[in-house]
Structure 1
């Protein structure tokens, strides 16, 4: 019945915008934090989340109301992957892409240094250095607090893979953090 209301609600002017505004208010901060953990840059994280909300707006209505948040989370993870691929290409020498990624970046590292001294900043940095799949699993399991089954569905991998990547990622993080003390 809720799905019927969403579909019927799309026909009324402003219903789509109202539903998306509610989703935005409820989950935007969480999604920006997720993207920040994966990207390490607040501006890029905010842009990734904006792109995903725009994509959901275009694809509205979702199959059911409960799938909208899952769509947003998966979209943020995929958008971060794309952003990281662009960054890798830029580091390899594409001058136009390198210029587009560095345009508007602050010249002072004062904020970055302040965050680096903070324990949460150190942990986030260590998470960003994990291999992609471990980073995604750790973020989903322990930041988003998803179950192994939910994480597997979101990342489209098996539950056993989630367990393996979580175990390896946690072991790596523990070793790195103990070594940096």
Structure 2
């Protein structure tokens, strides 16, 4: 069934339609919010709040034109309100350096390398403008179409394409720059030892 059909069923009070709709969107929405918040408990709270707001919308007789975009827009707005809250601000001051969740099993070399790359990408993304970070997250982590991203963020499709291009370019330069810096750092250390030997 389509999203629209399920939403019409939910408006009629059909429990099966509600369960099917939640099953369709709970996992991807939860994954998105966990990436945004880095807090599984808070992410689950926001998932529930998003569905509650959808039910309130339906009770008013209003069916979202694009259910997926509507859900992510509500979820993103919940995150933004939370980040502005005094609770979040004071909590951030207490947590100087949040722990990284890293799989450090030494036998799994490939997994460690992938994790390192993922950490670099996430670290680099944190330095991007908010809109570019949101677009890249929705596009590559949530596999969302560009038009749907435009609906979520309420900006023109052309702006989404521009920000996506600029964001990816920045990420590429950042990651390539870090790789070059590491290589140059190793070379510089070698050069220093060599110069010291010649003296």
Pair in the same fold by TM > 0.5: yes
Aligned to 1:72: 71
User: Root-mean-square deviation (CA), in Å?
Assistant: 3.5
Equivalences for residues 3-22 of structure 1 within 5 A: 7=8, 10-12=11-13, 15=14, 17-22=15-20
Alpha-carbon distance in structure 1 between the residues aligned to 2:101 and 2:10: 48
- The answer for the alignment partner of 1:94 in structure 2 is none
Contact 2:10 2:17 in 1 (8 A): no
Aligned residues: 165
Shift of 1:170: 0.7
**Contact 1:37 / 1:128 at 8 angstroms: preserved in 2?**
no
Corresponding residue for residue 53 of structure 1: 51
> How has the CA–CA distance of structure 1 residues 160 and 63 changed in structure 2, closer, same or farther, with 3 Å as cutoff?
same
Q: How does 1:37-48 map to 2 (within 5 A)?
A: 37-48=35-46
Quick check: 1:180 aligned with 2:178?
yes
1:71-98 superposed Cα distances (whole Å, 9 cap, x missing partner): 21111111121122226x854xxxxxx2
TM-score (norm 2): 0.65
Q: Which one has the largest radius of gyration?
A: 2
Tell me which moved more, 57-66 or 163-172: 57-66
Of 170-179 and 24-33, deviating more is 170-179
Asked which structure has the greater RCO (Cα within 8 Å, sep 6+), the reply is: 1
Task: Please say if residues 26 and 47 of structure 2, whose CA atoms lie closer than 8 Å, have aligned partners that are also in contact.
Answer: yes
More deviation, 43-52/121-130? 121-130
